[in-house]
Structure 1
Amino acid sequence: MINFEVLKQISKNLEHTSYEDILRLLEELEISYIMTFNIPKGTLISRIRPSERKPYCKESQISYNPNPENYGRANKPNEPIFYGSIQGPGMLNSLDTNVWEWLNILNSKPLNKIDFPLSFTSGFWEIQSDLPTIPIIYNNVSKEKTKLFDSLLENYEKHSGVTELSSKIIEFLANEYSKVDINSPNDYKLTAAFSELIRTRIGKKYHQFFIRA
């Protein structure tokens, strides 16, 4: 419980806390249960990227960054991660999620900081085999806006291994993943560290995880 309170405090300003210390605090959290599910073969994953008035024409321009220099939502520096969106229940296609995320990002910025008109380029990738996945679906804002993943959330809450503290920790982490008010790459340290923890220590076969944005 003490480590969780420390994490909540340092999350307000991550610049002055080392990545290693954040990772250690996360390792010591008492998370009693992490839900898993498979994204089925054939699912389309989409990406959308602002293309600065001129559409991109190469896959490499809209695919993952092979050499990230800074922390990202789920990666540390020099750790390539493919970020994309899947089609949720009731959506026409996976671009719905991309558009929703970009609307949230744009909505958080002053109009004088946005370079209008905006142009976007999108792409689709098809999953070739089932992907074992860890979902993080507790974001407060999106719970109020959509019921798309309520069944997953209900299954998690009904599991006998879930404790009240574990639920609070997962909710806190989901809100960290979903925040749009990012002022520095350091703001991603906490989620990057938890992503590493999932991929390398909690369950090595779960190389992907799903975030409800």
Structure 2
Amino acid sequence: MSVGVTENINLSLGVNSIILRARPNKDCPRFTDTQELSIKPARYNTDFQRASTPRKTMFYGVYMSQPSQNELDIMRTTAAYETIPEIRLPNNPYSGKLTLGYWTNHEPLNLIAIMHKKQYTEINPYSMEVFHAYREHLANGDKNLMQKSIAFYDFLADEFSKKDIRGNYDYKISALFSEAASRNSVDGIIYPSVRLGGMSFNVALNELAIKKLKLDSVEEATVQQEGNNVSISINAFTKCNNQSTFKLEDVPGKQ
């Protein structure tokens, strides 16, 4: 993919940022191995996904800039909608377990941001802040470069916000861009979560960036959908201390 010279939105996540990565339990009654919550092995990545190609795997997670209790709830909800297709269907009864791994970084993460979807900048103050900072930066430079960069990233924003996916080929453009961008000193991509209407962000980190992360804690949750209402209740928790294995402890009264 080649579009000539454009100005990227470069964003750095500071040390100890929280990235939430989720995995449905499905046939596994309870996870105990840190690797089970980490990056998907490349050999299993056979399709295009929003930010990864069949030739390359990425670590997908959910991020918010200042995770208060309310934002942690939004992060959990985002993780559920991103990983459980069944709850995206209206009036589709569902009940299942979801394991939530909270990762933190011990080095800054250097990301390229896709923040141009106008409706998302109106919903999320962080998107608006990054978007306006980028526009102000461009305004001080070459006018043609500014117009070209804005047009290119407007196009990418549409690609990264596709909601009705007919097949994995619908992810091809965003996936190829992510593969090309996540090289050299770039650790990955950050973009608003289409599944939650831009209220939170997804990050996709390359394999080398995983060395900057450690698993801090794990929750096991029950996700239920009745009608159009989705509930997430935490029934087990543990701190991990960056160990290779962990043991979840049941929350009293939630077994």
TM-score (norm 1): 0.72
Which residue is equivalent to 2:8?
34
Q: Distance in 2 between matches of 1:31 and 1:115?
A: 49
Residue 211 (str. 1) matches residue 174 (str. 2): no
- The answer for unaligned runs of 5 or more in structure 2 is 194-255
Question: Residue 133 of structure 1 is aligned with which of 98, 105, 111?
Answer: 111
Higher-Rg member (1/2): 2
Residues 110 and 43 of structure 1, relative CA distance in 2, 3 Å threshold: closer
Identify the structure with the greater strand proportion. Answer: 2
Between the aligned residues of both structures, percent identity stands at: 22
Q: How many residues align?
A: 183
Distance 1:56 1:95, change over 3 A: farther
**Matching residue within 24, 39, 42 for 1:50:** 24
Q: CA separation of 1:128/1:94 partners in 2, compared to 1, >3 Å: closer, same or farther?
A: farther
Q: Which residue of 2 aligns with 1:188?
A: 171
Offset, 1:87: 2.5
Preserved contact between residue 22 and residue 79 of structure 2 (Cα < 8 Å): no
What is the RMSD of the two structures over their aligned residues, measured on CA atoms?
A: 2.8
**Distance in 1 (alpha carbons) for counterparts of 2:53 and 2:124:** 30
Rounded to whole Å, the distance in 2 between the matches of 1:44 and 1:153 is 22
Which blocks of at least 5 consecutive residues in structure 1 are unaligned?
A: 1-22
Runs of 4 or more consecutive aligned structure 1 residues displaced over 4 Å after TM superposition: 101-109
Q: CA deviation at 1:146?
A: 2.0
Q: Is 1:122 matched with 2:71?
A: no
Instruction: Return the structure number with greater helix share.
Output: 1
**Alpha-carbon contact 1:86-1:94 (below 8 Å) kept:** no
Distance 1:206 1:61 in 2: 25
Shift of the 95–64 alpha-carbon distance from structure 1 to 2, 3 Å rule, reads farther
Report SS of the residue matched to 1:195.
Answer: helix
Cα pair 1:88 1:94 within 8 Å, conserved:
no
The alpha carbon displacement at 1:38 in A equals: 1.5
Other structure's SS at 1:182 match: coil
| Separation in structure 2 between the aligned mates of residue 147 and residue 135 of structure 1, nearest angstrom | 15
CA distance in 2, matches of 1:107, 1:69: 22
96-105 vs 182-191, which deviates more?
96-105
Q: CA deviation at 1:65?
A: 1.1
Give the aligned partner of residue 78 of structure 2.
100
Q: What's the TM-score, normalizing by structure 2?
A: 0.62
